[in-house]
């Protein structure tokens, strides 16, 4: 049986990916390494926790003891998903992001080389490209121009790994997805927080004017792309994973309003505007033609269908978010308009 180490597998993207990978690749043994920080939840993988081809290890990737995992399991593939990801948190506490997204990734790369890992896949982000003016789309060859400490830590990890590929022949492939949404996402990001607040009688929180543009893909669409890249991607390459669905934050919230309340209504009736976060990028847009040419179509539903399915999941799974502090916005209390 072949072994794959997946880091951050109890988080949003990681847990969704593990469930899909396990079904499609029953001959593989999955070793899930997760620190179980606030966004990691063992409940996301409860249905597979006793499977013979699944092992969970509670560990932080920045710890030196991760070498023991590589020594014991001798993985064929490493999928680096563990990361601090929330921009607001990176502004408040950048050190945690540097430790996880840089030191942690270094540990994975070092041990992958030491123990002969055959393929190393790293999940990055489209935020490394920074803000782009319309109609520019960032290809994989764009210069990196991160704004937030989060994006900067991810860009630094990308560059570190690329140096390991060039210097030590680390069998590296980098994957840069756009914004993911769907089931099991911790209620701090725009879509799950907005849904949870509406379902508890609160208004949505909107940084600034809501005109910032983001590109959106369902978590299942992103997982499909990652699976395809693991199967067909080339060592030394970078692959963007986008959808072409680019919407302002206001448009996203309006779609959620329509799905939950059955009307579009006036945004001011449903939204609480707060001061914009420092350095909030105005527009993200990536060109994913390279990835689509390699693996074909991977996002299979529309944004409207995705939002409908996501709202339905959060309605049926209040256990997942009911104890989350939905009022813990970094700026709302001090800068409420």
Are both 127 and 237 inside the same structural domain? yes
Q: Which residues pair with 94 in a beta bridge?
A: none
Q: How far apart are CA 68 and CA 25, in angstroms?
A: 25
The reply to whether 204 and 235 lie within a common domain is no
Closest CA to 241 of 261, 221, 263: 221
Domain count across the chain: 2
> Distance between CA 121 and CA 233 in Å, rounded?
10
Both 128 and 265 in one domain: the answer is no
Range of the domain at 90: 2-180+218-241
Instruction: Give per-residue pLDDT as tens, 130-166.
Output: 999 999 999 999 999 999 889 999 999 999 999 999 9
Same domain, 208 and 160: no
The span from the CA of 90 to the CA of 79, in Å, is 23
User: Is-catalytic flag, 272?
Assistant: no
Whether residue 197 is contained in a domain is answered as yes
User: Same domain for 59 and 24?
Assistant: yes
Q: Are residues 140 and 266 in the same domain?
A: no
- Tell me whether residue 292 is in a domain: no
Catalytic residue among 34, 88, 126, 215: 126
Each residue's pLDDT tens digit, 51-97:
999 999 999 999 999 999 999 999 999 999 987 655 565 566 667 77
What is the pLDDT at residue 99? 77
Identify the band that residue 265 occupies on the pLDDT scale cut at 50, 70 and 90: low
Q: What is the spatial distance between Cα 291 and Cα 296, in angstroms, rounded to a whole number?
A: 7
Strands 172-177, 119-123: pairing is parallel
| Annotation marks residue 115 as catalytic | no
User: In the annotation, is 47 catalytic?
Assistant: no
Distance CA 321, CA 239 (A): 32
- Report the CATH number at residue 330: 3.90.25.10
**Same domain assignment for residues 108 and 172:** yes
The answer on 256 and 161 residing in a single domain is: no
The predicted model scores a pTM of 0.94
d(C-alpha 9, C-alpha 54), whole Å? 11
Of 193, 119, 122, nearest in space to 160 by CA: 122
Is residue 290 assigned to a domain?
no
Residue 288 lies in a domain: no
Q: What separation, in Å, do the N-terminal and C-terminal C-alpha atoms of the chain show?
A: 58
Q: Which helix (H) or strand (E) holds 32?
A: strand 28-34
Q: Active-site residue among 84, 137, 150, 181?
A: 150
Closest CA to 285 of 229, 226, 217: 217
Shared-domain flag, residues 86 and 101: yes
Q: Which of 127, 158, 292, 299 is catalytic?
A: 127
């Amino acid at each position: 049986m072949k072994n794959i180490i997946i880091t951050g597998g109890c988080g949003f993207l990681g847990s969704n990916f593990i469930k899909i990978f396990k079904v499609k690749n029953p001959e593989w043994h999955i070793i899930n390494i997760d620190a179980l920080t606030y966004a990691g939840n063992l409940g996301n993988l409860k249905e597979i926790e006793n499977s013979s081809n699944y092992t969970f290890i509670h560990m932080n990737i920045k710890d030196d003891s991760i070498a023991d995992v590589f020594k014991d399991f001798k993985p064929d593939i490493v999928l680096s998903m563990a990361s601090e990801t929330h921009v607001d948190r990176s502004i408040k506490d950048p050190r945690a992001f540097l430790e996880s997204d840089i030191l942690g990734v270094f540990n994975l790369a070092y041990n992958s080389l030491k123990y002969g890992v055959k393929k190393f896949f790293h999940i990055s982000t489209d935020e490394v490209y920074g803000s782009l003016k319309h109609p520019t789309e960032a290809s994989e060859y764009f210069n990196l121009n991160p704004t937030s400490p989060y994006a900067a830590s991810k860009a630094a990890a990308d560059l570190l790994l690329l140096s390991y590929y060039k210097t030590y022949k680390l069998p590296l492939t980098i994957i840069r997805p756009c914004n993911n949404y769907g089931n099991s996402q911790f209620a701090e990001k725009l879509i799950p927080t907005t849904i949870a607040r509406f379902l508890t009688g609160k208004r949505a929180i909107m940084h600034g004017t809501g005109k910032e543009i983001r590109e959106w893909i369902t978590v299942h669409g992103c997982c499909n792309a990652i699976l395809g890249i693991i199967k067909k991607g080339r060592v030394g390459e970078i692959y963007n994973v986008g959808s072409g669905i680019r919407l302002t934050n206001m448009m996203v919230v309006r779609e959620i309003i329509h799905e939950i309340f059955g009307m579009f209504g006036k945004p001011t009736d449903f939204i609480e505007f707060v001061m914009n976060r420092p350095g909030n990028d105005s527009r993200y847009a990536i060109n994913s033609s390279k990835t689509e040419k390699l693996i074909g179509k991977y996002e299979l539903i529309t944004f409207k269908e995705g939002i409908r399915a996501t709202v339905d999941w959060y309605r049926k799974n209040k256990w997942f978010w009911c104890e989350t502090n939905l009022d813990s916005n970094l700026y709302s209390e001090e800068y409420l308009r």
